[in-house]
């Protein structure tokens, strides 16, 4: 029985000029997704600050030693305490300046805070004083976007299956524009985090729907390539965000500037076609054939005359395939259960460390814009290394090596914690390693799960990854009360553990993968031999048999 992929491979072209054009256009939508995923690094940036004291007009005014105690542990002026009694006269006037501390007793800030404006302009933190006992609210602004991603992945994934990829992509783009613009005009913190949550949801809607569209119009042998390549556009958005934030400084201007250019994507209503694979599953065969013929014409190939009957036969055959559920992953057998749990833990760890290191750039002691730029730039060699090593070493080894390397370099910061530049270098090496691992786990997971539960398994793993990403900002909060390297140590330990545990999973490179859970369970002994990496063939058959949308 011919499959849909056979039509693409034999008649339309796996990755012809038409698919390349649409692939490029869809990849562009990943750029604003990166904008909104990481914008809170700057719009929720926390500048240096101390209590506002009598007569002071700017941060670190001349009389600071009279009003603000020195924090010797952190080698800086106290951020949240001031002397209970002090006397300042003549500050900012023509009279004689006099400053005396009348007591060593300390108290919480009584008149608000003064902020250092040399690095950040107006941020969410400075607008609503999210410091000291409200510092957790600043991290909430970061985590709420990631929590919105969980909601968006579920909602928009269901909607795209019901109403089509193109429609839901455009809806998600319009909502992203609206939420970004409205967020920039937020008059209170609750309103701000509400729109940030909705922005996170639209990020998942745009990115996942875009990813599905491009994977459904290319042949199976190109899915690995596009799965990694779309991440380069995401990284481009990551790096571009640095320039926008550095140029504008004020959070409302940043948010507005990141949102308005997305209006250009609404032109996709007239440019992008609907996914022909989705049209086939909905029984809209004439529309599907029309799009496939258009693809074939531009690719200088031809579609057979009986294509309509072939599509109907494919749809009829797919209805006979029994759909398995998440219960099959967790309760069918101990082998499948442990595979599922180990993969989910690896996703959680990758996501936690990746987002943790991305958001941690403003706490590393260097200029936060430079540190964030470097953090984005190191993702490029990370993806390149993973692509180069995948066929040489296999999926499991690549993930294991990079996660263990990430863990080791981050844990090593305990030795060099007093030296800012080496700490930043080690943190960036860790970011490179976790990027390489994170870029591989998508492909590895898709190949580990049997065909009948592949999307279910990836959905479950994705939810676990969001748990890791949402927790990352609160792990960073620990650093505010201890030291800047403490989150790096915690992320390092998590990465090291996950890198070791992945060794328990089988290798999937060069293997024909099982189609259902029963076959996967019967295949376990053969696959377990691959734990040592004993693979003899160089051709990648798994890509040819893996008919999936990642």
Looking at the chain, the whole-number percentage of residues with pLDDT higher than 90 is 33
Give pLDDT, residue 258: 94
Whether residues 311 and 332 fall in one domain: no
> Could you tell me the pTM of the whole model?
0.81
pLDDT, tens digit (0-9, with 9 covering 90-100), for 282-331:
888 888 888 888 988 898 888 887 777 777 776 666 555 555 566 666 66
Q: If you average pLDDT over residues 375-402, what whole number do you get?
A: 88
d(CA 228, CA 394): 15
Same domain, yes or no: 494 and 374: yes
Judge if 140 and 75 occupy the same domain. no
Of the candidates 301, 320, 339, which is a domain's last residue?
320
Considering only the C-alpha atoms of the chain, give the largest distance between any 2 of them, rounded to a whole number of Å.
97
With CA atoms as reference, report the closest residue to 15 among 279, 298, 250.
Answer: 298
The answer on 35 and 79 residing in a single domain is no
Residue 199 near residue 176 (C-beta atoms within 8 A): yes
Say whether pLDDT at 539 is over 50: no
Give the per-residue pLDDT at 534: 43
| E strand map for 385-486 | none
**Out of 216-225, 244-253, 424-433, 480-489, which region has the weakest mean confidence (pLDDT)?**
216-225
Please check whether residue 123 lies inside any domain of the structure.
Answer: no
Instruction: State the CATH number of the domain containing residue 154.
Output: 1.20.1250.20
Beta strand 106-108 pairing with 81-83 = antiparallel
Residue span of the structural domain in which 31 resides: 1-44+134-320
| pLDDT over 60 (residue 512) | no
- Looking at mean pLDDT, say which of 168-182, 472-486, 498-512 comes out highest: 168-182
Over residues 443-447, the mean pLDDT reads 75
Instruction: Tell me the pLDDT of the chain averaged across its residues.
Output: 82
- pLDDT value of position 317: 61
3-state class (DSSP) for residue 242: helix
Residue 177 lies in a domain: yes
**Could you tell me if residue 249 is inside a domain?**
yes
- φ, ψ of residue 467 to 5 degrees: the values are -60, -40
Q: Are residues 177 and 286 in the same domain?
A: yes
Residue 17 forms part of a structural domain? yes
E-strand ranges in 230-360 read none
489-500 mean pLDDT = 94
288 vs 509: which has the higher pLDDT: 288
- Specify whether the CB–CB gap between 220 and 5 falls below 8 A: yes
| Residue 94 vs residue 355, higher pLDDT | 355
Same domain, 535 and 488: yes
- Best CA proximity match to 106, nearest among 87, 86, 83: 83
> Do residue 304 and residue 381 come from a single domain?
no
Q: Which of 213-227, 317-331, 435-449 has the lowest mean pLDDT?
A: 317-331
Please report which confidence band the pLDDT of residue 545 belongs to, taking 50, 70 and 90 as the band edges: very low
| Cβ count near 449 (within 10 Å) | 25
Domain ends where: 320, 353, 380? 320
259 assigned to some structural domain: yes
One domain for residues 222 and 109: no
Asked if residue 521 belongs to a domain, the reply is: yes
Cβ pair 175, 205 in contact under 8 A: yes
Question: Three-state DSSP class for 113?
Answer: strand
Higher pLDDT among residues 451 and 434, named by residue: 434
User: Region 165-189: what's the mean pLDDT?
Assistant: 94
Q: What pLDDT does residue 301 have?
A: 87
Same domain, 355 and 249: no
Q: What angle separates helix 307-319 from helix 285-298, to the nearest 10 degrees?
A: 120
On the question of pLDDT at 538 being above 50, the answer is no
Of 320, 337, 367, the residue at which a domain comes to its end is 320
* pLDDT number for residue 421: 84
pLDDT tens-digit readout, 73-92: 777 888 899 888 877 766 66
Instruction: Dump pLDDT digits (tens) for 12-27.
Output: 888 989 999 999 999 9
pLDDT band of 500, cuts 50, 70, 90: very high
Give how many domains the chain has, as a whole number. 3
How far apart CA 373 and CA 26 sit, in angstroms, is 24
d(CA 214, CA 227): 9
Quick one: angle between helices 30-38 and 223-248, nearest 10?
50
Percent of the chain with pLDDT over 70: 85
Q: What's the rounded mean pLDDT across residues 384-404?
A: 88
């Amino acid at each position: 029985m011919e499959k849909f992929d056979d039509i693409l491979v034999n008649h339309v072209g796996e990755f012809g000029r038409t698919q390349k054009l649409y692939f490029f256009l869809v990849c562009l939508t990943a750029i604003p997704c990166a904008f909104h995923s990481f914008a809170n690094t700057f719009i929720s940036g926390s500048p240096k600050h101390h209590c506002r004291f009598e007569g002071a007009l700017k941060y670190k005014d001349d009389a600071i030693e009279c009003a603000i105690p020195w924090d010797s542990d952190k080698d800086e002026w106290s951020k949240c305490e001031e002397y209970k009694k002090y006397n300042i006269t003549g500050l900012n006037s023509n009279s004689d300046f006099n400053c005396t501390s009348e007591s060593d007793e300390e108290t919480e800030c009584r008149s608000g805070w003064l902020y250092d404006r040399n690095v950040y302009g107006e941020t969410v933190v400075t607008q609503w004083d999210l410091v000291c006992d409200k510092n957790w609210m600043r991290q909430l602004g970061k985590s709420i976007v990631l929590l919105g991603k969980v909601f968006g992945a579920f909602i928009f994934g269901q909607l795209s299956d019901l109403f089509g990829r193109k429609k839901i992509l455009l809806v998600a783009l319009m909502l992203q524009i609206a939420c970004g613009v409205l967020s920039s005009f937020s008059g209170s913190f609750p309103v701000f985090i509400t729109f940030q949550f909705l922005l996170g949801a639209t990020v998942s809607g745009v990115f996942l729907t875009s990813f599905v569209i491009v994977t459904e119009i290319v042949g199976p042998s190109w899915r690995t390539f596009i799965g990694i390549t779309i991440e380069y556009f995401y990284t481009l958005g990551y790096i571009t965000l640095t320039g926008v934030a550095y140029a504008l400084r004020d959070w409302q201007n940043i948010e507005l500037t990141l949102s308005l250019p997305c209006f250009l994507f609404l032109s996709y209503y007239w440019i992008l076609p609907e996914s022909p694979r989705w049209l086939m599953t909905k029984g809209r065969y004439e529309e599907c054939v029309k799009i496939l013929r258009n693809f074939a014409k531009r690719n200088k190939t031809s579609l057979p005359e009986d294509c309509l009957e072939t599509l109907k036969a494919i749809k009829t055959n797919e209805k006979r395939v029994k759909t398995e559920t998440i219960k099959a992953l967790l309760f069918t057998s101990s082998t499948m259960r442990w595979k599922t749990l180990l993969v989910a833990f690896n996703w959680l760890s990758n996501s936690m460390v990746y987002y943790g290191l991305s958001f941690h750039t403003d706490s590393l002691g260097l200029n936060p814009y430079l540190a964030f730029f470097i953090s984005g730039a190191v993702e490029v060699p990370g993806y390149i290394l993973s692509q180069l090593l995948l066929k040489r070493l296999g999926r499991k080894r690549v993930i294991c090596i990079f996660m263990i390397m990430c863990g080791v370099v981050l844990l090593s910061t305990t030795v060099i914690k007093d030296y800012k530049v080496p700490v930043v270098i080690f943190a960036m090496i860790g970011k490179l390693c976790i990027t390489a691992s994170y870029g591989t786990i998508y492909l590895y997971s898709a190949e580990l799960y049997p065909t009948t539960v592949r999307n279910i398994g990836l959905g479950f793993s994705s939810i676990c990854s969001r748990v890791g990403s949402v927790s990352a900002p609160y792990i960073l909060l620990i650093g505010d009360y201890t030291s800047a390297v403490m989150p790096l140590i915690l992320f390092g330990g998590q990465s090291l553990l996950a890198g070791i545990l992945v060794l328990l999973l089988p290798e999937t490179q060069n293997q024909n993968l099982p189609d259902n859970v029963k076959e996967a369970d019967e295949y376990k002994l053969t696959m377990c031999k691959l734990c040592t990496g004993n693979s003899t063939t160089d051709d990648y058959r798994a890509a040819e048999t893996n008919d999936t949308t990642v």
